[in-house]
Amino acid sequence: MDKHLGRLKEILRDLDSVLVAFSGGVDSSFLLHVAHEVLGDQAQAITFVSPFLSGIERERATSFCEEQGIKQIILEADPLEVEQISSNPPDRCYHCKRQLYSEALAQARKMGILHLIDGTQLSDASDHRPGHRALEELGIRSPLMEAGLDKEQVRLLSKELGLSSWNLPPMACLASRIPYGTPISPEVLARIEAAEEFLFNEDFNLVRVRDHHRMARIELSPEGIERFSHRDLRERLVAHFKSLGFVAVTLDLEGYRTGRLNELYEGEVAAGKPLPQG
């Protein structure tokens, strides 16, 4: 891993100045830390604040930058204003990243920063991620991937560097909880965020609440699933979720795994079924 870390530092040094697309997650936190270590104040962060980013993630990103002494730019955006995003097609992520990263590039140029970079790493290549195409088209560099680093290596190196982000659970934008073809609205996103916040407050670490037309499908770690044997928890959870607007609450017995909605979409395509509407 030292070889990969050394290669990452070489890549960053050659870039001279960078604006890091920063969500506060494991990958972008590690990238931002190393970039700031190599480039000093020539490495800054930009965080996209939109209905797709939970309040927990925003606070985490801001706290990290404050702790590290790194300048953070907040870019307010509303992707839902774009029909190709709010209608939630399978390539939604492409249109969303194209919009956000175009705005970030303009910000970087205004600041005199040469490159916009992101925290994509090798493990991301195994899932359906149309947003990668937008990054390639815009010339966004992904130094972790270029250095040959995968998710496990990023976590281990983060731990060695003493970063509190090393063991954060995997996160994704809130829109990823909604099946393709189902329109996205601020109300649905807020309902999902509030449902997941309830679970985080109950000390569940790995959490996804998928919204299937107001039916909540909860995905948890194996340990989290075991906790659902407690009747009191189930009753409080159901009552809270229904107060948020869910009409039914289910637990996915397969548990959490990345790319679950992509699997469902690919199954629908294979079966020749149209995407749901409304």
Does residue 31 sit in the same domain as residue 151? yes
Does residue 154 sit in the same domain as residue 256? no
CB hemisphere CA count around 90 (13 angstroms) = 14
Helix (H) or strand (E) holding 44: strand 43-49
Question: Three-state DSSP class for 272?
Answer: coil
Domain of residue 31, residue span: 2-167
Does residue 158 sit in the same domain as residue 178? no
Within its chain, how far is the Cα of 219 from the centroid?
Answer: 16
The residue behind tokens 């927990």 is 56
- pLDDT tens readout for residues 41-97: 999 999 999 999 999 999 999 999 999 999 999 999 999 999 999 999 999 999 999
- pLDDT tens readout for residues 100-114: 999 999 999 999 999
Does residue 184 sit in the same domain as residue 159? no
Report pTM.
0.90
